[in-house]
């Protein structure tokens, strides 16, 4: 008989298949990019494993070539990954009773893992804590695997990887559409879309993410009870 851990591992894998495709390409692009800057392959491999924050890893590659400025690097990392503060607030209830797995779930929470763990509804027989753990672990390993592949191949091949960066944009569109199709009502999704578009128009493409998240958070908190009543209202 399969143990709860094995059941959760099997249930989590199909949910991460789209991430496997995206992380393989983008991770490989990162590995190739690092080696093209003259770094030994071990650098992108270890950075992918210990940092595990795609955008900041690309930025770190350039920071390592600049003058030593730890405070600047710290502030830059906070700014780039500030959206994770909102992810953490959203996952407080879900991570409350998962035990020691919480520490790895916090460390490994990337955009993709958050999207899956926040919206996924595994079978009641599946342990949710282990399900979220394996979603996070699989995504982590996909990124490390893609970076390793790119780092090793980057020593022998060179080509323009700019187009590969669009892979993650397409990946988020697919995740959003899947969640849209699973929802009976789309109030939260529409709030997110409207606030994001307004923030984009007001703050521009380079600075709209944080204002958009603050706006979405404020609206969802303010209208939490009406939204919850609407979700549970029978058809």
Distance of alpha carbon 122 from alpha carbon 11, whole angstroms: 7
As given in the structure block, the two tokens for residue 51 are 């940092």
- HSE on the CB side for 179, CA within 13 Å? 20
Is residue 8 scored above 50 in pLDDT? yes
Tell me the CA distances in angstroms from 13 to 5, 36, 173, 177, one per residue in order.
13, 33, 20, 19
For 27-55, write each residue's pLDDT tens digit. Answer: 888 888 888 888 999 999 999 999 988 77
Tell me the CA distances in angstroms from 5 to 11, 34, 100, 106, one per residue in order.
10, 36, 14, 19
Is residue 58 scored above 90 in pLDDT? no
Q: How confident is the model at residue 206 (pLDDT cuts 50, 70, 90)?
A: confident
Q: What is the mean pLDDT of residues 59-84?
A: 78
For 156-172, write each residue's pLDDT tens digit. Answer: 776 665 665 565 566 66
Output the CA angle 60-92-24, nearest 5 degrees. Answer: 40
Residues 6+ apart with CB under 8 A from 76: 56, 59, 63
Distance of alpha carbon 37 from alpha carbon 161, whole angstroms: 13
Q: How many helices (H) and strands (E) does the chain have?
A: 14, 0
Neighbours of 147 (CB within 10 A): 33
Is residue 214 scored above 70 in pLDDT? yes
Q: What is the mean pLDDT of residues 99-126?
A: 90
Element (H or E) spanning 36, and its range? helix 17-36
Output the CA angle 56-34-13, nearest 5 degrees. Answer: 65
């Amino acid at each position: 008989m399969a143990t709860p851990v094995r059941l959760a591992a099997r249930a989590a894998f199909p949910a991460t298949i789209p991430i496997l495709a995206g992380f393989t390409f983008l991770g490989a692009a990162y590995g190739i990019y690092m080696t093209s800057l003259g770094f030994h392959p071990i650098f992108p491999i270890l950075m992918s494993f210990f940092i595990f924050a795609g955008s900041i890893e690309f930025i770190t590659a350039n920071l390592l070539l600049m003058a030593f400025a730890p405070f600047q690097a710290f502030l830059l990392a906070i700014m780039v990954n500030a959206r994770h503060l909102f992810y953490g607030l959203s996952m407080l209830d879900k991570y409350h009773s998962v035990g020691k797995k919480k520490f790895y779930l916090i460390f490994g929470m990337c955009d993709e893992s958050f999207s899956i763990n926040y919206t996924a509804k595994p079978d009641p027989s599946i342990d949710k804590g282990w399900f979220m753990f394996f979603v996070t672990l699989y995504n982590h390993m996909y990124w490390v695997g893609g970076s390793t592949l790119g780092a090793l191949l980057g020593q022998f091949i060179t080509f323009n990887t700019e187009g590969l960066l669009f892979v993650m944009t397409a990946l988020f569109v697919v995740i959003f559409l899947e969640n849209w199709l699973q929802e009976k009502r789309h109030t939260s999704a529409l709030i997110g879309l409207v606030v994001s578009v307004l923030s984009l128009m007001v703050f521009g493409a380079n600075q709209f993410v944080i204002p958009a998240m603050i706006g979405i958070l404020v609206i969802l908190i303010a209208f939490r009870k009406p939204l919850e009543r609407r979700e549970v209202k029978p058809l």
